Amino acid sequence: MPAPRPRVLLIAELCNPDWVSVPLEGWSLYRALAEVADVHLVTHVRNRENILKQGVQEGSRFTALDSTPVEKPLDKVGEVLRGKTGVGWTTATALSALPYYYFEEVLWRRFGPRIEAGEFDLVHRYTPISPTTPSTLAARCKKAGVPFVMGPLNGGLPWPKGFGGARRREKEWLSYVRDVYKLMPFYKSTREHASAILTGSRATRGQVPARWQGKTVYVPENAIDTRRFGTAKSEGPVELPLRVAFVGRFVPYKGMAMLMEAAAPLIREGKVVLEYIGDGQEMANLKAQAAREGIESGVTFAGWVKHHELQGRLAKNHVFGFPSVREFGGAVVCEAMALGLVPIVMDYGGPGEIVSPATGFAIQMGTPEEIVQRVREVLTKLAADPSVIRPMGERARERIFKHFTWEAKAEQVLEVYRWVLGERAQPDWGMPLAD
């Protein structure tokens, strides 16, 4: 007889089908898990309306909790410290931890008696994904005899040497003392009482102390929604100029300036064109750089493209240039590979674990000058022999559709559930996942 579907209380404070980044991840995993388990979602009231639009029944399938009374004053503090330019993410994460304590208190008042009564086989806290945000629930679930699963956690990637300027422009002041989070209330008890700790990257796995490694499982953070991405495909003969695309926020650590510098000689030779999709504080600097290099005719700035329109635009390109030097997950890399683009990423953080040697190019970390040279060498190689792009792009698609869909992620998480419920041995898919 097949094992019964586990009854799961899924906590995803960030969970919104109409947003991007972590809120969309929260929604995507919830929807996929609902196909393999009996899941009740607990989320923030800010997500309520958009979840209702998806036809999810409130009360029986999800509950929205309100912790805004504690959040609003801290939001104002965050605006002062971060400004409104989308930087200072370490500061934002630190400020979000305080209202999250309150969110969990509201949650326990609402669901604590049901957890203690055995209505759920396990409790899974999915978002927030930051390893710096503790949980008051792990010890309470342990006392109630209900397994507590957390993650995949992701974050804490150190700033590489040589990028102090980018670090300051990102207003990452707290990153200099980031390990202070280990002194926060409930940091130790969260890990001590959790039944399973899922980590979304090798870097985050390495932050887990040795005494808790035995309960840790590597599950990559990111995946694609096959209904949003993968229906289009980059195809046809690859002819010069190579079409190289970047997608993301225009902030210093994403490496857009290094990509342009690396490509500039090839653009002047008519062998490469660049398309930047996105916007942000670095837009003016990038346009000025293109003018200085004399390559304005070979560089396009598309601005923000709606997510449901992105794959059509991105599929017109051959290569995905994304030399971000501090990327935790790299969902956009999964999306580009799902379209058959050949990725060029840094072998650092999430992208270096998504891209394998057979499916793209993971560039060794170095100084900005070294990275520019290494990216230029890859672009020169591809321009000299573009026939390698389609076979590599097809392998990239295969890798994503095998390991990096939300359906695949839900199956991985389900196996973790089976493990903590005593139905199977601890899963281990390798780190990173093999092709």
pLDDT digits (tens, 9 = 90+) for 349-383: 999 999 999 999 999 999 999 999 999 999 999 99
Same domain, 416 and 341: no
Whether pLDDT at 207 is above 80: yes
pTM: 0.90
Question: What's the pLDDT score for residue 292?
Answer: 98
> How much is the average pLDDT of 318-337?
95
Question: What's the pLDDT score for residue 169?
Answer: 63
Locate tokens 């002047």: which residue? 268
**CB of 219 within 8 A of CB of 299?**
no
pLDDT digits (tens, 9 = 90+) for 225-238: 998 888 889 999 99
Same domain, 209 and 183: yes
CATH code of the domain containing 289: 3.40.50.2000
Across the chain, mean pLDDT equals: 91
Q: Tell me the CA distances in angstroms from 50 to 18, 34, 38, 64, one per residue in order.
A: 7, 17, 21, 11
Measured distance CA(230)–CA(227) in Å, rounded? 8
Q: Sign (positive/negative) of CA torsion 167, 170, 173, 177?
A: negative
The helix (run of H) or strand (run of E) holding residue 398 is helix 389-403
**CB of 351 within 8 A of CB of 372?**
no
Same domain, 159 and 252: no
Same domain, 64 and 124: yes
427 is a domain residue: no
Same domain, 291 and 164: no
Question: What's the pLDDT score for residue 329?
Answer: 87
> How much is the average pLDDT of 166-180?
54
Question: What's the pLDDT score for residue 87?
Answer: 47
Same domain, 165 and 264: no
Percent of the chain with pLDDT over 90: 80
175 is a domain residue: yes
Locate tokens 């890399």: which residue? 333
Structural domain including 296 reads 242-402
pLDDT digits (tens, 9 = 90+) for 246-258: 999 999 999 999 9
Same domain, 344 and 413: no
pLDDT digits (tens, 9 = 90+) for 79-88: 544 455 554 4
232 is a domain residue: no
Question: What's the pLDDT score for residue 283?
Answer: 97
pLDDT digits (tens, 9 = 90+) for 253-306: 999 999 999 999 999 999 999 999 999 999 999 999 999 999 999 999 999 998
Same domain, 215 and 68: yes
Instruction: Report the 3 state secondary structure along 20-73.
Output: CHHHHHHHHHHHHHCCCCEEEEEEEHHHHHHHHCCCCCECCCEEEECCHHHHHH
Q: Tell me the CA distances in angstroms from 321 to 158, 181, 279, one per residue in order.
A: 22, 34, 16
Question: What's the pLDDT score for residue 197?
Answer: 98
CATH code of the domain containing 47: 3.40.50
Lowest-confidence segment of 70-74, 360-364, 414-418 by average pLDDT: 70-74
Question: What's the pLDDT score for residue 266?
Answer: 98
107 is a domain residue: yes
How many domains are contained in the chain? Answer: 2
Of 157, 151, 128, 155, which Cα lies nearest the Cα of 216?
151
Same domain, 375 and 253: yes
Same domain, 322 and 250: yes
Measured distance CA(31)–CA(45) in Å, rounded? 18
Whether pLDDT at 40 is above 90: yes
Question: What's the pLDDT score for residue 183?
Answer: 62
435 is a domain residue: no
213 is a domain residue: yes
> How much is the average pLDDT of 22-37?
97
Of 234, 227, 385, 241, which Cα lies nearest the Cα of 300?
241
Surface-to-core class of residue 351, CB atoms within 10 Å of its CB (0-12 exposed, 13-18 middle, 19+ buried): buried
Dig out the tokens for 3 from the structure: 């094992």
Same domain, 215 and 355: no
247 is a domain residue: yes
Dig out the tokens for 431 from the structure: 């780190």
Question: What's the pLDDT score for residue 386?
Answer: 98
Question: What's the pLDDT score for residue 74?
Answer: 55
Using 50, 70 and 90 to split pLDDT, how confident is the model at 119?
Answer: very high
234 is a domain residue: no
Same domain, 416 and 386: no
Measured distance CA(8)–CA(62) in Å, rounded? 11
